[in-house]
Chains A and B, each alone.
Chain A
Amino acid sequence: MAGSARTDPASSVPRAGQSQLKYSTRISLLVPIWFLTLQLLALVLFALGFLLTRPVLPDIAVKSVTYSNPDVLLPREFKRVVIILIDALRHDFITSSSGNNDAYYLNVLTTPSLLSASEPEHAAVFKFIADPPTTTLQRLKALTTGSLPTFIDAGSNFNGAEVTEDSLIQQVPLSRGDGRIAFAGDDTWISLFPSLSNGTYEDKNLTFPYESFNVWDLHSVDAGVTSHLWPLLQRKDDWDILIAHYLGVDHAGHRFGPNTPQMNEKLLEMDGVIKSVVNAIKDDDETLLVVLGDHGMDEKGDHGGDSKGEIEAGLFLYSSRPFLAPVDQPETVNQIDLVPTLSFLLDLPVPFNNLGSPIASAMLGSDYNFQKLASTSRIVAEQIYQYRSSHPSFEGNSELAELYSAASEAWNSSQDYESISKLYLAYQEQNLKSCREMWARFDVPSMFAGIVIFVATLGALVVFYFSFDGEVDCPSDHLNFLAPKVGYGGVMGLVAGAGLGYLQSRLQIAAVFGCAMGSIIGFFQGVRKLPSTKSPVSKWTVLALLSIILHGILFASNSYVVWEARSLSFLLVSFGFIFLVASFRLPDAKSRATAVIHAVVFIIQSRIAEYPRICREEQLPFCTSNFYASTASSVSSLPAIIVLFGTAMALPAIIRSFLRTSASYEGSAPLWVGFGLRVVLVLVGLYWTLDYVEADPEAQAYVEVLKICKYVVSRVLFGVTVLGAPLAWFRGLPFCLRVEMTNNQQKIKQAVQNGDVDTASKTSPVSVEIIGFGNTYGSLYLLLFLSIFAAVALCMKPVGGIAVAVMVYQILTLLELGDALELFTKSPILTPTVIGLMATQYYFATGHQATLASIQWDVAFLFTESIRPPLTHLALIFNTLGPFILAGLAVPLTVFYKLSPSPRDTRASEVIMGRVVRAGTGATIYAGGLILLNCIMTFILRRHLMVWKIFAPRFMLAGATVIAIDGAIVASTFLASKAIQGVFEVFG
């Protein structure tokens, strides 16, 4: 019988062997931990150099002497301003469109365009260009400080960050006295300006922050804002700036997409709000109304990047007093231009860091007076000049200095205010340009240091991989010798680096670099003294290394980064055909047929994995998203949920068929796979069904009930799959084995009767057969793997859940192929590499792209209604990096699959641990090779036109990949050591 063996009834466990094994498996963990640390350090160094920062100056602006210059004529000020910030208000939402395009979002929010057409001196609509990243936090910073964000800011959307620069919000209390700002809406404002939430504001009942991140909820923030807006409008003597930040449009975009009835409804509601505010200030010519979007949205309703739809927001200005110079064409202004404009219209000093230029039509006024424009332009230019001269990094730009002196000269000598304002504007524009360029200046030494560590780490990985023969060696034999050398080297390097770095005032970078390089040098010193084992390099190993290079080389061109999912599918299908050819080489007809079938299935899976996709902007028009119900929405489709239920039924059956090949569908397997996994996956389907029903407008009445049910299901599932099942696994290892006792008395008797003494004496009276013995390790570890898989499947959208289920199927197919083609022993790096490639492929198949906008933020509310660490973060991590985590966890299976224990042999168990570590090293080589090539390409292409759009997000993905895979390898090595110890305890 296949996959079974005969042993005597379990004997006593040798204690000494067990503790020896425990020690050697524990110490083996040091290997993946060390590599994880090295790659983390290298990543930090590279990222510090690459993801840019800018100087933030603490200075606060005051009105300069120019304000009192006799030539200076400023626009008449308003007493107060009402700012209605409609999050993600795209420009085309508020412009009138005449075409026959009947999209849900067109010609709905009509008040701004109607007013600006009928009263051009009172009202105007502008195209409002936001700088990327188009995330709310960064936009609010720009809208209040008038400065440019740098890329590193993008990461802090979750935690917020206090604005420490000069801003409109800081200028108000200085000029108008404390507590003159009223606020209702998105609580991001509070994280930016904590002062708004305490003291005076609270006493005067002026601020009403709302939780901002729950994109499932379209109405509660908006209803709250509106309910506070009317009373605040009545109390107009209590404030000078009233900010109402609506989130419904943004959430409708994220949740449903722009071209949906929900968006239509939301825009109608916003139109109503604007209409009533306009009516409320109709008789009050001291109030200015500003309606603006902080950014737009792409065609799916997401934002964060720099596509046209995302950066083109809408701006609408209105006052019952004529204050605008009418222009024929709709004006395009930069988002930061609003800062100086509002400063003048409110008679505040322009914030110290401002880089924007005042909006011309508002400065000219209805009397078309260029003296006003020239005056404000001069003040802003002066402010910019002041800003530039207060930081050394701005020094030495002669072109700008010339522009400034030319403009000042014209101001002093001529009265031609039109040309003066043009000269000042030229200075301001040139300054903006130079700032954009300058803040794209990389810290090359830091980037270089990161690359050097990556190279050295990859070298150490390869040396480590090749210097141990997994068949006979266990790394723990040498770790006693190597670990101190590595540690000593690290400490020495840290000291040396810190010393040298201190002298060069680059303390942190040098210390990190020294520490990492020191430990690597220590490792190489130690490895040299070890006896070298030279095993021939298999062709499969060459193929694995080649495929890593092929994947990494994609990062050399923006086209391949854009089309990475398809390129990877091509690569994996090619792998499948190579497996097919190798299968045909098998001598045994039966195993050949099996291998051929598995290779064909692998090819088909690789092709299918390319199918679910969400297109990035650069792929259009050659790509159609199919991850959600339609291209312009982010709602899952009903068919996807139905297929998800089908998957819940099919996947356990598929796993059973794989386990049956080694007769391992015994013992705990039916309970874990046939029952447990099936129920869990059905509940995952139930969760997404509830979610689907909840999104239905007709189910509004039951929303509360549905919500409760949803959260109960998701929390129970998460608890079971992440805590319950793994704990149960640890406590009592669920072997997939069945013990079968056969009474041989009859047989012996017969043998004696036949005179076959030999058989009679060799047959023991009772024989014990262990069914599933041949896959003891594999089946045991697989159960734990499936538990984590279920958690990942829960955190994926329905199509993503189906995709990861296919990933599990493909991993099993690959394992079966590896077993048939003896890949695990011929080249321990090959299968981990292919699993790594698959992980990247399935990252795309689960509705992601290498862009910030593709992060599925809404899963943050999978378990809770508000942000609750760690559940929120875990849901996002599982959703985004799930395929990589699963890949890392699957790597020990390449050793365990169809591996039977060697009873009473400590050494054999140690060698298995060695093989696990070696396979893990293989996966780390994939991740390390990938990030190294990515960093090199990013370094070379750092001045590329597409660097922020394509290469920087891909670098961030590669960084996340390496950390996820390395981390999962650490975890899987630990879990594998538990499995090995457990098997040893039973069979030892």
Chain B
Amino acid sequence: MARTKSTPRHIAASPSPTSSASPIPHKSYFLQHAITSSALLAFPVGTVVLSSLLPSDPVRTLGFFLPAVAFVQALNIIFTHPGAEVVSKSRVTKKKKQSEGTVSTTILGLMLSMLLTPFIHLVYVLFGAPVTVSVPATFLLSAHTALLALFPLLCAVPLDGETWMQIAALKAPITPAYVAALGTIAGAWLGAVPIPLDWDREWQTWPVTVVFGAYVGNAVGRLIGAVLSGKEKKL
């Protein structure tokens, strides 16, 4: 299995990240991420193929697929994760519980990312999402974004201020989860571009293009991250 017990690959806070670079078997991870990416991309692509379910009622489709996306993401995290630690408030109790630790980390990460959904909703509103109408659509979009961008990151990265400051400053070292998050943001940003066009297509309704952008960006970012990870490059 891919869940190797090699050196934990965590971020920034660790004093000597260079030493942990080489022993990670990239190939298997790449395959994992490729599978996950295609599994996740199956959602937007599938909805198009299947009589364009998504555009006709974005809210229902987004809600319907939300658990599935969470499941695929969780699987990916559990199978690719080398057992990161969740650092609680007191660093003294930092423990590495390998097998069940990963599962609990995943559950915690899922819950945290769901809790952060309103915050993402706010960011979408700041970017111009409607305030009073289409609230369910925007909220579900935010939930999907949280699952795509935040969930893996929350599981892969220790929950301390400095690490997240690095992430906010876009200075964190490259990992699949991190680049996938960046890709999701970039994809969602680009996804907003075709909305104003007067083509009167169904897929132009909010938030269809942004969902697509986020998924495609996530897949691209994840693959790039899987290729480049461990090379200790910074963006």
Contacts and interface: CB of A to CB of B under 8 A. Distances in A.
Contact of B128 (A558, A570, A584): A570
A950 to B, nearest CB: 11
Interface in A196-214: none
Interface string A548-582: 00000000011110110011011001100000111
B115 interface: no
A573 B196 contact: no
A585 B169 contact: yes
Contacts of A819: none
B170 A581 contact: yes
Contacts of B198: 558-559, 562
A944 B171 CA distance: 46
Interface stretch (A146-154, A479-487, A603-611, A780-788): A603-611
Contacts of A604: 126
Interface string B167-208: 011110000000000000000010010001110000000000
B169 A566 contact: no
A143 B168 CA distance: 65
Given A570-B127, A607-B126, A584 B168 contact: yes
Interface string B107-133: 000000000000000000111100000
Contacts of A566: 128, 196
B168 A607 contact: no
B128 A573 contact: yes
Consensus secondary structure, chain A interface: helix
Most chain A CB atoms below 10 A, which of B170, B189, B192, B198: B198
Nearest to B199: A559
Nearest to A604: B126
A566 B197 CA distance: 13
Interface in B123-181: 125-128, 165, 168-171
A114 to B, nearest CB: 42
A581 B169 contact: yes
A607 B128 contact: yes
Which of B126, B168, B189, B197 has the most chain A CB atoms closer than 10 A to its own CB? B126
A570 B169 contact: no
A300 to B, nearest CB: 22
Q: Is the interface of B mostly helix, strand, loop or mixed?
A: loop
Nearest to B123: A577
Contacts of A582: 169
A779 B75 CA distance: 59
Contact of A559 (B126, B127, B169, B197): B197
Contacts of A584: 165, 168-169
A90 B8 CA distance: 76
Interface string A104-116: 0000000000000
Contacts of B128: 566, 569-570, 573, 607, 610
Contact of A573 (B126, B165, B169, B170): B126
Contacts of A573: 126-128
Given A566-B128, A585-B171, A574 B189 contact: yes
A867 B125 CA distance: 45
A102 to B, nearest CB: 27
Contacts of A570: 127-128, 192
Contacts of B169: 581-582, 584-585
A558 B169 CA distance: 37
Interface in A252-306: none
Contacts of A559: 196-198
Contacts of A562: 196, 198
A563 B127 contact: no
Given A559-B197, A560-B196, A581 B126 contact: no
A581 B168 CA distance: 6
Interface in B195-233: 196-198
A428 B169 CA distance: 69
B118 to A, nearest CB: 16
* Most B C-beta atoms less than 10 A away, residue of A559, A562, A580, A582: A559
B183 to A, nearest CB: 16
Contacts of A581: 168-170
A563 B197 CA distance: 9
B201 to A, nearest CB: 12
Interface string A578-614: 0011101100000000000000000110010010000
B162 to A, nearest CB: 11
A944 to B, nearest CB: 13
B169 to A, nearest CB: 4
A607 B123 CA distance: 11
Contacts of B192: 570
A607 B131 CA distance: 11
Residue in B126, B165, B196 with the greatest tally of chain A CB atoms within 10 Å:
B196
Contacts of B126: 573, 603-604, 607
A570 B127 CA distance: 5
Interface string A42-61: 00000000000000000000
A580 to B, nearest CB: 8
Nearest to B128: A570
Nearest to B126: A607
A584 B166 CA distance: 8
Contacts of A569: 128
A165 to B, nearest CB: 39
Contacts of B189: 574
A557 B194 CA distance: 11
Nearest to B197: A559
B112 to A, nearest CB: 20
A585 B171 CA distance: 8
Contacts of A603: 126
Which 9 A-B pairs give the minimum distances between C-beta atoms?
A584-B169, A563-B196, A584-B168, A585-B169, A559-B198, A559-B197, A559-B196, A607-B126, A570-B128
Interface of B: 125-128, 165, 168-171, 189, 192, 196-198
Given A567-B196, A581-B168, A607-B127, 16 more contacts: A559-B197, A559-B198, A560-B196, A562-B196, A562-B198, A563-B196, A566-B128, A570-B127, A570-B192, A573-B126, A573-B127, A584-B165, A584-B168, A585-B171, A604-B126, A610-B128
27 contacts: A557-B197, A559-B196, A560-B196, A560-B197, A562-B196, A562-B198, A563-B196, A566-B128, A570-B192, A573-B126, A573-B127, A574-B127, A574-B189, A581-B168, A581-B169, A581-B170, A582-B169, A584-B168, A584-B169, A585-B169, A585-B171, A604-B126, A607-B125, A607-B126, A607-B127, A607-B128, A610-B128
Interface of A: 557-560, 562-563, 566-567, 569-570, 573-574, 580-582, 584-585, 603-604, 607, 610
